[in-house]
Chain A
Amino acid sequence: MSAPPDPPVFAEPWEAQVFAMVVSLQDAGLFTPGEWAEALGAASRRGGGPTDYALWLETVEGLLAARGVTAPGALEARRAAFARAAAATPHGEPIRLENDPGA
């Protein structure tokens, strides 16, 4: 007689990364737990979708942009660099930004 196993808490690795980023940024003092709850709640009401980790990511990107920490343009450029790095990385090897042939 034992409790049934709980389902995995993260469906994919990126969800865990988002969770850890948000907690780390609170530790670093970029926003308080209350500010985070408010921003996430507002995003949830706007979107009407589940409060899932995609919404967490959208919310943290918005908070950081609003505070001038990460400019949307810089994020866009970095995503493109990672996409090029991935394409240039042999399958099964870690994808590193240094592998971006366009860098």
Chain B
Amino acid sequence: MHELSLIQSIIDIIREERVKHGMNRVVRVRVVNGALSGAVSDALSFGWECLTQDGELKGVALEIVDMPLKVACGSCGLAFEPEDKHYMPCPACQEILGHDIQSGKELYIDEIEADV
């Protein structure tokens, strides 16, 4: 449910960037969503649909790139992509605790395509 507030933040950032870069009509926005961000991509898409029904972003495509979870083992340091977000045994040493998350927590606007 907090995806709606996230979409509102995305829209606020787009407005700022539009002015900064002298953009006219926005055509496409790309957002990167990590597996651990807590935001559900489907809910983000739906939130975007709801909040861009009218106004300057009407009909603009929101592209969401899902970023997989990557961790480094807390014991031996091996970098791996766990299959399960909750139980992550290291394929080399079987350690399950203390992994360092290298990617998967991010949620950011990557790029905006617009008419200039």
Bind each other: no
